[in-house]
Amino acid sequence: MTTATIRVYLFKGFERLWHWTQALLIILLGITGFEIHNSYHLFGYQKAVMLHNTLAWALIALIVFAIFWHLTTGEWRQYVPTTERLSAVAHYYAVGIFKNEKHPFKESEASKLNPLQRFTYLGFKILIIPVQVTTGLLYMYYNHWHEWGIFARLDLTALLHTAGAFALISFFIVHVYMTTTGHTPLAHIKAMITGWEEIEAD
């Protein structure tokens, strides 16, 4: 039996550009960062540091644009957390999905993130990214700490930055798995490219 689908325009142009640019920058920051961490040799240490710094500034610029966009369009409301249907959605991903059950949440233009996504992406935005940017900038300007009156520990800053990098890798793995859970394995990826999501009609 084929299920009827309807098309909903979920992701606007800026959002898609922001999403893919952010993904690319974070992947490249991870690749150069773990070379700096001495996990492997790819570009050479000096070049990896140079690339990492440039990519970091590009990410910071993108974040500034994204904050501006979310505030001026009101789209920040999409991330307001809610517990409504949270357990139903969690149950779906843990159990229901393997029994071919219906997803308990239907996306719409007004509410495109399910409650689990709202919590996850909010955590990403207000915890992981700020930790990574703050510790990264501290790391970058270590030579100025004394002059700026900053009394922190470089080893702890580096440890937190590396922990943030591992958190981002974990996020990435789960995130990519979740993209395959639409009505076809590539449906969510396609939606983030075209803006249009196909959702099952009741």
Q: Which of 10, 15, 18, 29 binds ligand HEM (CB under 6 A)?
A: 29
Q: First CA to last CA across the chain, in angstroms?
A: 14
* CA atoms of 116 and 93, how far apart (whole Å): 10
- The packing angle between helices 154-179 and 13-36, to 10°, is 130
Q: Which is nearer to ligand HEM, 103 or 161 (CB)?
A: 161
Which region, judged by CB under 6 A, interacts with ligand HEM, from 103-111, 145-153, 155-163, 180-188?
155-163
**H/E element, 89:** helix 86-94
Return the residue of 8, 23, 90, 140 that touches ligand HEM, per CB under 6 A.
140
The residue from 24, 42, 50, 60 that contacts ligand HEM (CB under 6 A) is: 60
Cβ-contact 6, 198 below 8 angstroms: yes
Gap between the Cα atoms of 134 and 136, Å rounded: 5
132 forms part of the interface with ligand HEM (CB under 6 A): yes
Q: Are 89 and 105 in contact (CB under 8 A)?
A: yes
Instruction: Specify the residue, 55 or 191, whose C-beta has the smaller distance to ligand HEM.
Output: 55
Which of residues 15, 18, 26, 70 is near ligand HEM by CB under 6 A? 26
Chain residues in the site for ligand HEM (CB under 6 A): 26, 29-30, 33-34, 36-37, 49, 52, 56, 59-60, 132-133, 136-137, 139-140, 158, 161-162, 165, 168
